[in-house]
Amino acid sequence: MHNLKHLFVALFLAGLFVAPSAFADKDALKKALAETMPSIAIDDISDSKIKGLYEVMVGSDVFYVSEDGKYLIQGHMFDLAAKKDLTEDKLAEARAVLINGVAKDQMIIFKAPDNKGTVTIFTDIDCGYCRKLHAEMDKYLAEGITIQYLFYPRAGKDSESYKKAVSVWCADDRNTALTVAKSSSNPPAEKTCKNPVDAHMALGEKLGVRGTPMMVTEKGTIFPGYMPAKQLAEALQQDK
């Protein structure tokens, strides 16, 4: 969750984070953390690469806690010898699980005839760079890149952008409706139906979407913002 840091600060200021003296095992530490931070759902606690420091997963976020429960660290852990960001690797794994857990019928997909890679993009119909990206869809498809769209109207629920997203989803031909909506200043005919827009937005919040477009690869790597087709194809090759 992108406001995890602010939540920790609030807990400390409120005096709610009371460090226990010692824990015999990870299960005991998890239970204690759940009691001191009840609003945070801890998914997993595992050994980190540093002895005496546990890795704690909360959705698609990671932080570190000393084995005695006395110290909490939020930040990235680097392997200097390997020149590798160990925390980013873990975050990418968590993102991949979340993204790949979305059913295909809950996305709007533009499939490349010769698929060489897939990116899931959080998009806002009224976002300028989202429109630029979509206007170049043929170039992405020609590079073998399949585009899977999830909606993230930045203005929030019940905004005009949100209503457009719902209307596109409820159209008979979603792909065509999305293309028309992104290429026109006129809003699509307003429709309502059961839709996944709220679920898309909730997932975006978990993944810390700050702006659109935001691309997520199958491995959970994030490419924020617009990227030309050839550049994205090269980035996906390096992501394998």
List the catalytic residues.
Answer: 124, 127, 130, 154
Phi, psi of 210 (to 5 degrees): -105, -30
Sign, Cα dihedral of 214, 183, 179, 235: negative
Which residue in 62, 86, 85 sits closest to 74, CA to CA?
Answer: 62
CB 78 within 8 A of CB 88: no
- Between CA 42 and CA 58 the distance in angstroms is 5
- In 10 A of CB 172, how many CB atoms? 7
3-state secondary structure (DSSP) of residue 1: coil
DSSP state of 217: E
Partner residues linked to 120 by β-bridges? 148, 216
